[in-house]
Amino acid sequence: MCRCRPALSTAVRALSAVLAPFVLLCLLAPGPATAAVASRIKDLGYLEGTSPEPLLGYGLVIGLNGTGDGQSNDFTVTSLSAMLERLGVTVDPAVIRLKNVAAVVVTADVDPTAGAGTRVDVVVSSLGDASSLEGGTLIMTPLRAADGTVVLVAQGAVSIGGFNIKSGANNSFRKNHATVGTIPNGGTVRQPLVGRFTAEGQLTWLLHNPDFGTAAAVAAAVDAVFGGGTAIALDAHRVQVRIPQEHRMQPVPFIAQLGELTAVSDAPARVVINERTGTIIVGQNVVLKEAAVAHGNLKVEVKTFYDVSQPAPFSRTGQTVVTPDVNTQVQDHEAHVLRVPETSTVADVVGVLNDIGASPRDIIAILQALKRAGALQAELVIM
């Protein structure tokens, strides 16, 4: 028997009864009486040539309290032996014990405009089977850019923000992740990258979320202050700005003023689904066309009970055996047919999803079906 429900109200229904223990997060679209919120240009993008440069290095952490790599890590033994030889100490690798030493990979991100002597935070991650880097010290480690150039030199005490205690009989207590740590200001720039954010009197803003509408809005905001033709939206990602002649010798004040200008960002209608956690994000401008949804739950439960069958008292031929008793239950709940009205706001979409009365995982399947039917007017992104 089908039960039909009337069209839904545009008010947002209570989410807690439907979504526990999962989460449904919705970014409410502005209503007709609410103006779109403008953002600063420096929050919408960044200057070309200023993105951090990743650096990578390999080193050793010493001074560990018996939590270092085991003897099976040949690369740690070889690295320690080579380091001692560079210091003028020759040691047979066969006699080296690694309980207090750990091989690590050292990473950092450096501003391409950073000059020599700039201090940078570095991250130290265990490469072998060390159980903890607590109390260790990274010895001098060069960090290289993608082209092999040594840009940074790192050294210092490793901070892990936790601990890992083992006390025998497989008893242990751990707080936070003990095999990855940081060295605040542990790296020093030796070879500047000489990054450039201006070229031939121009600079380019790169949008965090490429969109033609946002790019056009940013260019219009710049032209409104500095005159027409100052900014050109090259594509959905790049906005090129011509530096006025009076600012070309010192472009930093001009760039600072540019960053404070505001523009309204735009984005395509998008629904993001994380099937692993049951999280659903409904973005702005999502529209549902009219459709009908039938939702029902089929529940199959199989339980096995074990009984013991024993022979009669004083019997010499019988045996005691365990016999399984399998019990199967099938519950097919009555399906509900819901008319989905045409919606134009996120509030309406939330109301539709809540009125279905399904769990978030069921809603995910319903959204996928609505997209396949052409009723969901949005991009469906599954993480």
What the block records as the tokens of 159 is 């901070």
Q: Is residue 116 part of a domain?
A: yes
Percent pLDDT > 70 in the chain is 73
The pair phi, psi for residue 186, each rounded to 5°, is: -85, -10
CA pair distance 257, 250, nearest whole angstrom: 13
* pLDDT number for residue 327: 65
Q: Which of 125-129, 190-194, 275-279 has the highest mean pLDDT?
A: 125-129
Which residue did the predictor score with more confidence, 168 or 359?
Answer: 359
Mean pLDDT of 56-80: 87
Same domain, 278 and 337: yes
Q: In this structure, are residues 162 and 170 in contact, taking their beta carbons and an 8 Å threshold?
A: no
Same domain, 133 and 230: no
Q: Which of 91-95, 162-166, 188-192 has the highest mean pLDDT?
A: 188-192
Q: Is residue 98 part of a domain?
A: yes
Give the confidence band of 29 by pLDDT, cuts at 50, 70, 90: very low
* pLDDT number for residue 56: 96
Same domain, 77 and 138: yes
* pLDDT number for residue 166: 60
Enclosing domain of residue 62: 53-189
Same domain, 304 and 279: yes
CA pair distance 309, 177, nearest whole angstrom: 51
Q: Is residue 248 part of a domain?
A: yes
* pLDDT number for residue 203: 93
Give the confidence band of 95 by pLDDT, cuts at 50, 70, 90: confident
Domain boundary among 233, 263, 293: 263
pLDDT in tens, 64-74: 988 888 777 78
Positive or negative torsion for Cα 270, 271, 275, 278? positive
Residue-averaged pLDDT of the chain: 78
Q: Give the position of tokens 């070889």.
A: 78
Q: ∠ CA 179-165-135 to the nearest 5 degrees?
A: 55
pLDDT in tens, 298-326: 444 556 566 777 777 766 676 777 776 66
Q: In this structure, are residues 123 and 60 in contact, taking their beta carbons and an 8 Å threshold?
A: no
| Domains contained in the chain, number | 3
Q: Is residue 184 part of a domain?
A: yes
Same domain, 311 and 343: yes
Same domain, 308 and 233: no
Q: Is residue 10 part of a domain?
A: no
Q: Is residue 369 part of a domain?
A: yes
Mean pLDDT of 171-183: 75
Domain boundary among 215, 246, 263: 263
Q: In this structure, are residues 271 and 282 in contact, taking their beta carbons and an 8 Å threshold?
A: yes
Same domain, 24 and 45: no
Give the confidence band of 35 by pLDDT, cuts at 50, 70, 90: low
Q: What is the 3-state secondary structure (H, E, C) of the chain?
A: CCCCCCCCCCCCCCCHHHHCCCCEEECCCCCCCCCCCCEEHHHHEEECCCCCEEEEEEEEEECCCCCCCCCCCHHHHHHHHHHHHHCCCCCCHHHCCCCCEEEEEEEEEECCCCCCCCEEEEEEEECCCCCCCCCCEEEEEEEECCCCCEEEEEEEECECCCEEEECCCCCEEEECCCCEEEEEEEEEECCCCCCCCCECCEEEEEECCCCHHHHHHHHHHHHHHHCCCCEEECCCCEEEEECCHHHCCCHHHHHHHHHHCEECCCCCCEEEEECCCCEEEECCCCEECCEEEEECCEEEEEEEEEEEECCCCCCCCCCCEEEEEEEEEEEECCCEEEEECCCCCHHHHHHHHHHHCCCHHHHHHHHHHHHHHCCEECEEEEC
Lowest mean pLDDT among 146-150, 207-211, 357-361: 357-361
CA pair distance 192, 117, nearest whole angstrom: 9
Domain boundary among 163, 189, 215: 189
Q: Is residue 324 part of a domain?
A: yes
Same domain, 281 and 378: yes
* pLDDT number for residue 170: 58
Q: Is residue 2 part of a domain?
A: no
Same domain, 319 and 339: yes
Same domain, 88 and 180: yes
Same domain, 184 and 200: no
Same domain, 282 and 231: no
Cα radius of gyration (the chain): 32
* pLDDT number for residue 381: 85
What the block records as the tokens of 310 is 């024993």
pLDDT in tens, 218-274: 999 999 999 988 999 999 999 999 999 999 899 999 999 999 999 998 888 888 888
